[in-house]
Structure 1
Amino acid sequence: MQVYCTKQHANNGSNRFCTQCGEPLPLAVGQVIDNRYQIIRQLGQGGFGRTYLAEDKNQFHQTCVLKEFAPQVKEPQDLQKAKELFEREANVLKKLQHPQIPRFHTSLQVKLGNKDFFLLVQDYVDGDDYSQLLEQRQSHGKTFSEEEVTTLLRQILPVLSYIHSLDVVHRDISPDNLILRSSDHLPMLIDFGGVKQLPASQGFWFTKLAGNHTLLGKKGYAPEEQLRQGKVYLNSDLYSLAVTILVLLTGKEPQKLYDSYQGLWYWGKEINVSPQLEAVLKKMLAYKPSDRYQTAEQILKNLPLLTATKPPTTHLTKLKTMIVAPGRQRANALVSKFHNKTQAVAKSIPLPVWIRPFAVSLGGTALVVLTGAGTWAVVNAVIRSVTSITIPSISLPEIPQLPNPLGQPVSDKGTKDNTQIISRRQQLEIPEVFFIKMVDELFYTSKPELKGRSLTSKAEDTALRNEWYDVASNFLDKLEQANLSTATRQKLGNYRSQDYEIWRRQARAGQLGNYTISQLNKDTNEKFDRLFPGQQRGKLNQQTFGQIWYAIAADQVSKLKSSN
């Protein structure tokens, strides 16, 4: 069996490095590492190696992330240095105990073939990073609003305050290192590797977290002292966070927002925000570190109040059980508060009367209820005609929106209990963002007269909410009938056209035996048609029905590869 590096060089399946360019080759799906962690799929790739979604067989098949470091070394001293740097990052990650930072499990050194590999094991965060969310917004001609980025600042600055209190500087804050967690819609700060690729003569990738002489950070996001001098301060992270905010607001890369000759940002031209937020961002972006805010707490005190623009309507969101609602209009704000001293600076929002009796407990200790604020969602066009399924153009899901039938309290008589739907969705491990999009489409397609009308928690909408629940339950029935594997269900909402192209290449290379891409299309279409008869495959919504088509195809490819 042949495997391919990112440059599409063909290699023997037993190789761990590309014989042509030296790039580490991916671990095989199904491969078990350290007799414990079974690879489900690859999540991403960077200069250090790759990250994988894996199943921990010793922890009730819980999913986790394996972060790979692949040192290509020949000299013993180089291998020893790689080990030291790897352990240094692992030791830093062990110290970080925060609900918005993936929990560190362990570090591993394993021998695959005749090469040593280092791996970090961390919690898996189900969600999309902010670069993906921005990409989705831009596909609809939108970017993030001022209210949304202000909320993001309020939610992520306490995390920076926490890591800075431990003298840890992230050094690589950017949209792709912030993930919007699906379970509670809080931003997660990821990738503390500070990864850098050394010159080829030194022979390996490594991470380095300590010391002020390492040149790390993304161009445009990192401040001058970091990129040019290799020096970092606590407020170097604050600079990078401000650039991230500008990118989310404008949808443009930092280089398009900054006049490098004059040393000025294009305020008022490319960047249009309220005077108060502009003043905060300008101070975060000061050229001299001494002119910036020195701590995250100082920024939080100066941020504009969300209620200054439009008073939001609050409602309850339960941790880890919330499923987001029909409707796609962006929420004005999501303000969260944990029982954690590093988050004490977060602003509280008055609760409406119906929320006050509610509380969520865990292990006998009260957990602070997440409170979100947002306008009722306005439903967009029901079904969009997009590209053919044979050459799909798949977009990433938008930020989940509030409020929703499943997140609303069951207070009026006649409203069905939604807890069973929540439980079934979680047991099947279906990403909630995809689930809501799919149920939305099915529901509003069946009721085109409701186009542009959102469901409320009022008594007059009880019947409609119950119908929405019925649609959700029937859809779960369909997915159970499909008998999809756990891995393909987990990936729903994240399939792209690249997946199909990979299958096409594998079929051409004979990796699927005598099975052709045409046969894959035929078999997938037949199974899809049994589940959803009457759907025009050439016009499938790529964010909903198209994802199911992909999942069916992915399972078929996986079965073929395992049999060859």
Structure 2
Amino acid sequence: MQVFCTKNHVNNGSNRFCTHCGEPLPLPVGQLVDKRYKIIRQLGQGGFGRTYLAEDKNQANKQCVLKEFAPQVQDPQDLQKAKELFEREAKTLKKLQHPQIPKFHASLQEKLGGKDFFFLVQDYIDGDNYRQLLEQRQSQKQTFSEEEVLTLLEKILPVLAYLHSQDVVHRDISPDNLIWRRSDSLPVLIDFGGVKQLPASQGFWFTQLAVHNTLLGKTGYAPEEQLRQGKVYFSSDLYSLAVTALVLLTGKEPQALYDSYQGIWLWGKEIKVSPKLEAVFKKMLAYQPNARYQNANQVLKDLPTKGATVAAKPQNPQITKLKTMIVAPGGKQTRQVISKIHQKTQLIANKMPLPVWMRPFAVSMLGTSVIVLIVAGSFAAVNAIIRGVSSISLPTLPTVSNPIGKPGNDKPNQQPGRLSQILSRRQQLEIPEAYFIRMVDNLFYAQKPELQRRALTGKSEDAPLRDEWAGIAENLLQKLEQAQLSPAARRKLGSYSQKDFDRWREQAKAGQFGDYTLKELTKDTNTQFDRLFPGKQGERSNLQTYGQIWYAIAADRVSKVQSGN
């Protein structure tokens, strides 16, 4: 069998390196490494080699990550030196014991295709990286809010403090290397760059993959002393973290936020944040390393306080919002009181274990009470409510048997049983909540154009509409179950893009699909999609809705072709 590198050089299937350019070739799906780790799929590639998702046969097929460290050397002395450097880096990773750093399991040396390969084995983190989260936001013309970024900084700076206490500098902090972990909503720092850097300066290690050369950090994210001089300090990581935060806030890459001619960041123009946070960022981004914060704890101390604590992966505000509208007459003082009450009740709502669009149910009763008091002119009572709201501690809302949409189910302290079942099914299928809610919203409002996308309320008159929304949600879940998508394909719903199809085109062109062509992939995917969604052929290209499902079907077909099934 013939295989191709990313430059389309033809190679024998048994080769581990391209005979023309020396590029390491990917390990095939199903390959056993160390007679223990079975390759499931490739996760990515970088300057040192490729990263794979694998199953550990000795640990009940538990998923893990294999990071390839692939030298191309012939001299035994060079190979020995390479191994020493690799083991030194593995030892560094082994000593890192932090819940927000993937646990290191083993380092391996394996001979594959007549060549020596080194691997690091680490925990697999189930979640989306912040690059993917940002792209999801941008597809809906959104970015991260200042409060969300503050939450991220508060959660990740202690990780850097720990890392630096071990005399380790990450060197490569960016949205790609921070993962929002689904299990606890914490950011996890991945892809430590140390093993990529050391051999590059020695001249005996070949780590080039296509156009990706070995780098000490990403251009735009790494400070100049790191990119130009190869020097790193603890403050170099803080610089990269600040750039990452600005990218999440603005949705723009560093090059668009920095005027290289004048050597200044575009504060107030491209970057708009509160004065206190701007001051913190400016110090983190100082040109000279000694002018920056010298450790992560200093940054934590100077971070401005937030009005409310939000999740590291907040819900998208574009989804259906069943708001309780407070409209009352009164003077300036009264409006200020209402504004304060609204802010307080929103803080409570944000802490509730519900989808963001259901939280207003739990505060609608408070809002109604306030209106009554205002109308009655009981200003003192209103102030008492404001004080009381701050101390309210709401328990987890109970599930009741009355389905969503049925009259009489408007009590603000109950979570409808039908909704609970929908959310539970979505969670079991591991379908991203942001995509699922957006998809249902789009389908719902397409059927109800007369609503002009107005927000639904928790009142009884909107019960039939809520019932229709739930019916659409249930039907969508049923269709996704019938599609029999793999968990990986379902988890990526909402993140597929034209880049995926472009990659498949290149893989097919390189012969990685064998005799299977891109035309056949499109035809087979269309057939399955049309069987699931008859009459929706024109929606296949809509990446906001049905297009994501089309791509998920195609992704599974690609995986099956590559695995030989």
Partner of 2:397: 409
Partner of 2:39: 39
- Kindly state the Cα deviation for residue 114 of structure 1 after the two structures are TM-superposed: 0.6
Partner of 2:476: 475
- Kindly state the Cα deviation for residue 77 of structure 1 after the two structures are TM-superposed: 2.1
Q: For residues 263 and 316 of structure 2, what CA distance do their matches in structure 1 show?
A: 44
Task: Assess, with a 3 A threshold, how the Cα gap between structure 1 residues 261 and 546 changes in structure 2: closer, same or farther.
Answer: closer
Task: Assess, with a 3 A threshold, how the Cα gap between structure 1 residues 129 and 502 changes in structure 2: closer, same or farther.
Answer: closer
Partner of 1:547: 548
Match of 1:204 among 195, 203, 206: 206
- Kindly state the Cα deviation for residue 535 of structure 1 after the two structures are TM-superposed: 0.8
**For residue 535 of structure 1, what is the amino acid of its counterpart?**
K
Which blocks of at least 5 consecutive residues in structure 2 are unaligned?
209-213, 322-342, 361-394, 403-415
**For residue 200 of structure 2, what is the amino acid of its counterpart?**
L
Q: For residues 200 and 167 of structure 1, what CA distance do their matches in structure 2 show?
A: 22
Task: Assess, with a 3 A threshold, how the Cα gap between structure 1 residues 222 and 442 changes in structure 2: closer, same or farther.
Answer: same
Q: For residues 135 and 547 of structure 2, what CA distance do their matches in structure 1 show?
A: 18
* 1:143-167 deviation per Cα after TM superposition (whole angstroms, max 9, x unaligned): 4333332222222212212222222
Partner of 2:529: 528
Q: For residues 151 and 540 of structure 2, what CA distance do their matches in structure 1 show?
A: 36
Larger radius of gyration: 2
Aligned counterparts, 1:43-442, within 5 A: 43-194=43-194, 195-196=196-197, 198=200, 201-205=203-207, 216-260=216-260, 262-307=262-307, 312=308, 327-328=318-319, 409-410=397-398, 414=402, 415-416=416-417, 420-421=421-422, 424-442=425-443
**For residue 198 of structure 1, what is the amino acid of its counterpart?**
A
Task: Assess, with a 3 A threshold, how the Cα gap between structure 1 residues 553 and 245 changes in structure 2: closer, same or farther.
Answer: closer
Which blocks of at least 5 consecutive residues in structure 1 are unaligned?
207-213, 331-348, 357-368, 379-406
Partner of 2:413: none
Tell me the secondary structure at the aligned position of residue 119 of structure 1: strand
Task: Assess, with a 3 A threshold, how the Cα gap between structure 1 residues 237 and 375 changes in structure 2: closer, same or farther.
Answer: farther
Q: Higher helix proportion, which one?
A: 2
Q: For residues 372 and 350 of structure 1, what CA distance do their matches in structure 2 show?
A: 17
Q: For residues 506 and 277 of structure 1, what CA distance do their matches in structure 2 show?
A: 45
Q: For residues 323 and 32 of structure 1, what CA distance do their matches in structure 2 show?
A: 39
CA RMSD of aligned residues (A): 4.1
Tell me the secondary structure at the aligned position of residue 58 of structure 2: coil
- Kindly state the Cα deviation for residue 274 of structure 1 after the two structures are TM-superposed: 2.0
Q: For residues 107 and 120 of structure 2, what CA distance do their matches in structure 1 show?
A: 5
Q: For residues 524 and 38 of structure 2, what CA distance do their matches in structure 1 show?
A: 28
Partner of 2:27: 27
Task: Assess, with a 3 A threshold, how the Cα gap between structure 1 residues 294 and 445 changes in structure 2: closer, same or farther.
Answer: same
- Kindly state the Cα deviation for residue 242 of structure 1 after the two structures are TM-superposed: 1.5
* 1:299-336 deviation per Cα after TM superposition (whole angstroms, max 9, x unaligned): 222222222xxxx5x79x8x9xx996884499xxxxxx
Q: For residues 65 and 279 of structure 1, what CA distance do their matches in structure 2 show?
A: 39
**For residue 56 of structure 1, what is the amino acid of its counterpart?**
D
Q: Percent identity?
A: 66
* 1:112-149 deviation per Cα after TM superposition (whole angstroms, max 9, x unaligned): 11111111222223333333443444455544333332
- Kindly state the Cα deviation for residue 267 of structure 1 after the two structures are TM-superposed: 2.7
**Residue range with higher mean Cα deviation, 421-430 or 475-484:** 421-430
Task: Assess, with a 3 A threshold, how the Cα gap between structure 1 residues 272 and 455 changes in structure 2: closer, same or farther.
Answer: same
Tell me the secondary structure at the aligned position of residue 534 of structure 2: coil
Tell me the secondary structure at the aligned position of residue 68 of structure 1: strand
Contact 1:44 1:50 survives alignment (8 Å): yes
Q: For residues 59 and 563 of structure 2, what CA distance do their matches in structure 1 show?
A: 25
Partner of 2:498: 497
Q: For residues 290 and 521 of structure 1, what CA distance do their matches in structure 2 show?
A: 56
**For residue 244 of structure 1, what is the amino acid of its counterpart?**
T
- Kindly state the Cα deviation for residue 234 of structure 1 after the two structures are TM-superposed: 1.8
- With normalisation by structure 2, the TM-score equals 0.73
Task: Assess, with a 3 A threshold, how the Cα gap between structure 1 residues 3 and 51 changes in structure 2: closer, same or farther.
Answer: same
Contact 1:410 1:417 survives alignment (8 Å): no
Q: For residues 106 and 461 of structure 1, what CA distance do their matches in structure 2 show?
A: 57
Task: Assess, with a 3 A threshold, how the Cα gap between structure 1 residues 178 and 278 changes in structure 2: closer, same or farther.
Answer: same
Partner of 1:333: none
Partner of 1:386: none
Partner of 1:3: 3
Tell me the secondary structure at the aligned position of residue 230 of structure 1: coil
Contact 2:6 2:510 survives alignment (8 Å): no
* Count of matched residue pairs: 490
**For residue 175 of structure 2, what is the amino acid of its counterpart?**
P
Tell me the secondary structure at the aligned position of residue 99 of structure 1: coil
**For residue 550 of structure 2, what is the amino acid of its counterpart?**
W
Contact 2:4 2:511 survives alignment (8 Å): no
Contact 2:280 2:303 survives alignment (8 Å): yes
- Kindly state the Cα deviation for residue 12 of structure 1 after the two structures are TM-superposed: 2.5
